[in-house]
Amino acid sequence: MSDAPERNAALLAVDWGTTAFRAWLLDDSGAVTDRVTSADGSLRVSERADSPSERAEVFRDAFVGRCGPWLTANPGVPVLAAGMVGSDHGWAGAGYLDVPADLRELAGRLTVVPAGESVVHLVPGLRVTGPDPDVMRGEEVQLRGVLAATTDHSATVVLPGTHTKWVRLDGGCVTGFTTAMTGELYGLLLRDSTLSRLAARRAGPEITTAFTRGLEAAERQGDERGLGALLFTARTLALAGRLESGEVADYVSGLLVGDEVRHALQGASAGVVTVCGSPSTAPRYRHALERAGVSVRTVEEDVAALGLWRIAQDAGLVPAVSDPRTEDHPR
């Protein structure tokens, strides 16, 4: 965060996830003028409280601690927050919209919580009901941003992360989604399993030979052997000297991503798929999808700021777009 006060601040936008806090200060054109990030995710913050009232206090204090200079320099600036901050273990429960859901309807279901002299508007998540229930929080603002940032909308959007989302869209409506715990499973394997003793490093953003080798194994043998058996090959290959310790993490990443992508594409014609994720994960999903013959478009993870801006416009917290020609283009 810079020390210079912002003069034309129109919105303080927050993406507060399980493990990270990200905030942007946007001017009256929706452009990012300042940003702040920290490891004060909702999980870490919530651990400081034993009751809902205490939880509200610690979330408020954490928010003011990170964004206080912005609030002081821009009194009355609207605040819009999404992610696990709106969960039952966050600042306050913001509820869900049931799928199918028009993303423009998020603006009509905001939950307001006090934050000193300011108020914070919490964005609801999305929920799939029925025999295969599913939920998302935070990714819905990325989806709103993806729709605003691209004119040729994909029917499928992949949001890689700890819990990767595969989202089906029809125009501006989310018609369904599924979640894969690939990122969390990778973290557990490389921290707590026997594989952690073999891996000399964590996987990086590069598309390595070992990562591609893992993809190939998942493509070739996934149906017959299953993911559990494939993961054990990381151990046996290393013990046999056919996989270096510095390659284990990339190989495991390839197995996990390859298995996820293969199952997600089964029996479906994906067309063009949009991948929206961090620089450390998006290239891996793009590579796996392109190996499967899928055309891929990538959008940066910070599109969440644009999504929050659009939701704020939908809610009347900031001025609406005056020129319709700019409605579906990034700022």
Q: What are phi and psi of 136, to 5 degrees?
A: -145, 145
Is 83 part of a structural domain of the chain? Answer: yes
Residues 145 and 208 in one domain: yes
Strand 156-159 versus strand 79-83 pairing type: unpaired
**Does 65 fall in a domain?**
yes
Establish if 191 belongs to a structural domain.
yes
Among the candidates 77, 105, 130, a domain finishes at: 130
- 144 and 87, same structural domain? no
Whether residues 80 and 201 share a domain: the answer is no
Structural domain that includes position 20: 1-130
Beta carbons within 8 Å of 177's beta carbon, 6+ residues apart: 99, 126, 128, 134, 136, 165, 166, 167, 168
Of the listed ranges 97-101, 203-207, 272-276, the least confidently predicted one is 203-207
Task: Identify the helix (H) or strand (E) that includes residue 113.
Answer: strand 111-115
Instruction: Say whether both 118 and 160 belong to one domain.
Output: no
- CA 278, 280, 284, 290 torsion: positive or negative? positive
> Would 227 be classed as within a structural domain?
yes
Residues 207 and 302 occupy one common structural domain: yes
Answer yes or no: do 63 and 188 share one domain: no
Residue 147 counted as domain residue: yes
User: What mean pLDDT is predicted for residues 319-330?
Assistant: 50
Domain boundary among 74, 102, 130: 130
Compute the distance between CA of residue 42 and CA of residue 203 in angstroms, rounded to an integer: 25
The tally of domains found in the chain comes to: 2
Structure tokens at 308: 């929050």
What's the confidence (pLDDT) of residue 202? 84
* Confidence band, pLDDT 50/70/90 cuts, at residue 171: confident
> What CATH number should be reported for the domain holding residue 8?
3.30.420.300
Contact 177/167 with Cβ under 8 angstroms? yes
Q: Residues 26-69: pLDDT tens digits?
A: 999 999 999 999 999 999 999 998 898 999 999 999 999 999 99
Residues 225, 218: Cα–Cα separation, whole Å: 9
Between the alpha carbon of residue 252 and those of residues 125, 230, 234, 240, 321, the distances in Å are 31, 9, 7, 16, 46
Confidence (pTM): 0.90
Structure tokens at 33: 């003028």
Final residue before a domain boundary, out of 130, 155, 171: 130
Domain assignment of residue 183, yes or no: yes
Within this chain, do residues 22 and 119 fall inside the same structural domain, yes or no? Answer: yes
The domain that contains 213 carries what CATH number? 3.30.420.310
Residue-wise pLDDT for 117-127, tens only, equals 889 999 999 99
Mean pLDDT of the chain: 91
Q: List Cβ neighbours of 294 (8 Å cut-off, separation of 6 or more).
A: 265, 270, 271, 272, 273
User: In the chain, pLDDT over 90 holds for what percent of residues?
Assistant: 79
* Cα gap 31→13, rounded to integer Å: 11
Confidence of residue 302 (pLDDT cuts 50, 70, 90): confident
**The two structure tokens encoding residue 107:** 């603006």
Q: 3-class DSSP state for residue 248?
A: helix
